[in-house]
Structure 1
Amino acid sequence: YREIGQPLVESVMKGFNGTLFAYGQTASGKTHTMMGTDREMGLIPLAVKEVFNIIENVPDREYLLRISYLEIYNENLHDLMKTPSGSYFQSLQLRENSDGEPYVQDLTEQTVCSMEAVMKAMQLGERHRHIGCTNLNARSSRSHTIFKMVIESRVRGEEEDHAVTVSHLNLVDLAGSERTAEARTTGERFREGNFINTSLMALSRVISTLSRGEQGFINYRDSKLTRILQNSLGGNAHTAIVCTVTPSSVLQTTCTLRFASSAKKICNRPVVNEVVSDSTMMRRYHREIQTLRQKMKAMEDGTLTKTLQEKDSTIESLSRKVEELQRQLVVSTHSLPQLMTPAPAVDWRSKRRETWG
Structure 2
Amino acid sequence: MKSAMRPVKPPRRLPPKKPSSTNQKDPVGVYCRVRPLSPPDQECCIEVINESLLQLHPPDGCKVNRNGEYKETQYSFKQVFGTQVTQNELFDVVSKPLVEDLIRAKNGLLFTYGVTGSGKTHTMTGSPGDGGLLPRCLSMIFNSIGNFQAKRYVFKPDEKNGMDVQNEVDALLERQKKEIQPQVIPRTPMSRQRMDPEFADMINIQEHCKVEDVDEDSVYSVFVSYIEIYNNYIYDLLEEIPLDPIKPKWNTPGRNADFIPPQSRILREDLNHNMYVAGCTEVEVKSTEEAFDVFWKGQKRRRIANTQLNRESSRSHSVFIIKLAQAPLDADGDNILQEREQITLSQLSLVDLAGSERTNRTKAEGNRLREAGNINQSLMTLRTCIEVLRENQLCGTNKMVPYRDSKLTHLFKNYFDGEGKVRMIVCVNPKADDYEESLQVMRFAEMTQEVEVARPVDKPICGLTPGRRYRNQAFKEELTRRLEDRGGPINGGDAEDQAVVEILIQSFPPLPSCELLDANDDQTLPKLIEVLEKRRRIRQMMAEEFNKNVCTFRAMLQDLNGVVTAKENFAQGKMTEKDKMIASQKSEIDRLDKKIKTLEYKIDILEKTTTIYEDEKRTMQQDLDNHQHKLQRQLSDKRRLEARLQGMMTDNAMKWEKECERRVAAKQIEMQNKLWVKDEKLKQLKAIVTETKSDKPERPPREKDREPRVPVRSVSPSPAPTALPAHPRHRRSRSAGTERWVDHKPPNSVETDTVMQPHVPKSIKVAVASEKALAKCDKYMLTHQQLASDGEIETKLIKGDVFKTRGGGQSVQFTDIETLRQQSPPSGGRKRRSSPSNQPPQAETTDSEWTDVETRCSVAVEMRAGSNLGPGYEHHAMSKRRRP
**TM score, norm. by length of structure 1:** 0.73
**What does residue 175 of structure 1 align with?**
354
**What does residue 286 of structure 2 align with?**
113
* Structure 1 residue 235, shift from structure 2 partner: 2.5
1:79 corresponds to 2:233: no
**What does residue 126 of structure 1 align with?**
299
Q: Which range moved further: 165-174 or 260-269?
A: 260-269
Aligned residues of 2:390 and 2:450 also touching (Cα < 8 A): yes
Deviations 1:97-146 (A, max 9, x none): 34443221111011111111110100000010000011100100000011
Q: Distance in 1 between matches of 2:406 and 2:351?
A: 15
**What does residue 36 of structure 1 align with?**
126
Identity %: 37
- Equivalent residues in 2 for 1:51-66, closer than 5 Å: 51-56=141-146, 58=214, 59-66=216-223
Aligned residues of 1:166 and 1:273 also touching (Cα < 8 A): no
Letter in 2 for 1:108: T
* Alpha-carbon spacing, 1:15–1:69, altered in 2? closer, same or farther (3 Å): same
Q: Distance in 1 between matches of 2:131 and 2:461?
A: 34
Letter in 2 for 1:12: L
Work out which of the residue numbers 231, 243, 247 in structure 1 matches 2:426: 243
Aligned residues of 1:133 and 1:139 also touching (Cα < 8 A): yes
- Equivalent residues in 2 for 1:1-357, closer than 5 Å: 1-56=91-146, 58=214, 59-83=216-240, 86-87=249-250, 88-157=261-330, 159-161=337-339, 163-212=342-391, 213=393, 214-248=397-431, 249-269=434-454, 270-273=456-459
Q: Distance in 2 between matches of 1:185 and 1:227?
A: 28
Q: Unaligned stretches of 5+ in structure 2?
A: 1-90, 147-211, 244-248, 251-260, 332-336, 463-884
Q: Distance in 1 between matches of 2:381 and 2:321?
A: 22
* Alpha-carbon spacing, 1:43–1:266, altered in 2? closer, same or farther (3 Å): same
**What does residue 321 of structure 1 align with?**
none
Deviations 1:296-347 (A, max 9, x none): xxxxxxxxxxxxxxxxxxxxxxxxxxxxxxxxxxxxxxxxxxxxxxxxxxxx
Letter in 2 for 1:68: S
Q: Distance in 2 between matches of 1:274 and 1:25?
A: 42
Q: Distance in 2 between matches of 1:123 and 1:36?
A: 12
Aligned residues of 1:83 and 1:128 also touching (Cα < 8 A): no
Q: Distance in 2 between matches of 1:83 and 1:130?
A: 16
Q: What is the aligned residue count?
A: 276
Letter in 2 for 1:251: E
Aligned residues of 1:167 and 1:273 also touching (Cα < 8 A): no
Q: Distance in 1 between matches of 2:143 and 2:271?
A: 35
* Alpha-carbon spacing, 1:274–1:147, altered in 2? closer, same or farther (3 Å): farther
Deviations 1:190-216 (A, max 9, x none): 110001000000011111222231434
Q: Unaligned stretches of 5+ in structure 1?
A: 277-357
**What does residue 279 of structure 1 align with?**
none
Letter in 1 for 2:426: C
* Alpha-carbon spacing, 1:195–1:274, altered in 2? closer, same or farther (3 Å): farther
Q: 3-state DSSP class of the match of 1:244?
A: strand
Aligned residues of 1:60 and 1:155 also touching (Cα < 8 A): yes
Q: 3-state DSSP class of the match of 2:281?
A: coil
Q: Distance in 2 between matches of 1:274 and 1:160?
A: 17
> Which of the pair is proportionally richer in strand?
1
Q: Distance in 2 between matches of 1:135 and 1:275?
A: 53
Q: 3-state DSSP class of the match of 1:135?
A: coil
- The higher radius of gyration belongs to 2
* Alpha-carbon spacing, 1:149–1:274, altered in 2? closer, same or farther (3 Å): farther
Q: Distance in 2 between matches of 1:274 and 1:141?
A: 41
Q: Distance in 2 between matches of 1:175 and 1:83?
A: 24
Q: Distance in 2 between matches of 1:28 and 1:271?
A: 36
Aligned residues of 1:202 and 1:223 also touching (Cα < 8 A): yes
Deviations 1:244-283 (A, max 9, x none): 011231111111111211221222222234599xxxxxxx
Q: 3-state DSSP class of the match of 1:12?
A: helix
Q: Distance in 2 between matches of 1:150 and 1:272?
A: 17
Structure of higher RCO (CA pairs closer than 8 Å, 6+ residues apart):
1
Aligned residues of 1:65 and 1:111 also touching (Cα < 8 A): yes
